[in-house]
Amino acid sequence: MSTCINCVWEEFSLPLKRFIKKRVANKQDAEDIFQEIFLKIHKNIGSVMNEDRLHAWIFRIAHNTVKDYYRRNNLKLESTDLGEDLESSTAEETSANTEIASCLKIMVDSLPETYKQAILLTEFQSMTQNELSEKLGISLSGAKSRVQRGRKMLKEMLLGCCQLEIDSRGNIIDYKHKSSECKYC
């Protein structure tokens, strides 16, 4: 792939700064996160096989880096912050992920309460499984089990509903509903 890092910098630096600024109040931390994201992009840009998916790849790096920041600093990330994409994205680039995210929201809400709670706390509020076990007053293995079962249920619901096309990094490229009768989508 022939993507130049300077071109990526020019196209993504402002949208990335806005993305981070919305999620991180401390200006210095936001700047550090921004530099960390571009370091990761620079080191791994050669691994991007499909230039059409560059935007999604960069967003995933940004999303994960912000999430890591919250974990490292024992802060809570609001679940509403997770579904937003970079402001410069086009509808075409994000439509599959956005639509599947809407379905997943409904699927999470339909989980039995114990699994729903475990998924919401670990996946959307960046709580570790150890913290989950302490908060719920259950063993660590019990917390891990709830998270694993919740994830498995979500996967079964999603794959029962949709046929997904996923790239090598796990991003949803495209999907097709298996039935027009899906109660989640």
Tell me the per-residue pLDDT of 152-162, one tens digit each, with 9 for 90 and over: 999 999 888 88
Q: Is 11 exposed, middle or buried (0-12, 13-18, 19+ CB in 10 A)?
A: middle
Whole-prediction pTM value? 0.50
183: in domain: no
- Kindly report the average pLDDT of the chain as a whole number: 81
Which structural domain range is residue 159 located in? 92-177
* Domains contained in the chain, number: 2
| Exposure on the CB side of residue 96, measured as CA atoms within 13 A | 17
Percent of the chain with pLDDT over 90: 32
Reported as a pLDDT band with limits 50, 70 and 90, residue 84 is very low
The mean pLDDT value for 177-181 works out to 79
Please check whether residue 119 is in contact with residue 111, taking contact to mean a CB–CB distance below 8 angstroms: yes
86: helix, strand or coil: coil
Q: Which residue has the higher pLDDT, 12 or 75?
A: 12
For residue 121, what is the domain's CATH number? Answer: 1.10.10.10
15: in domain: yes
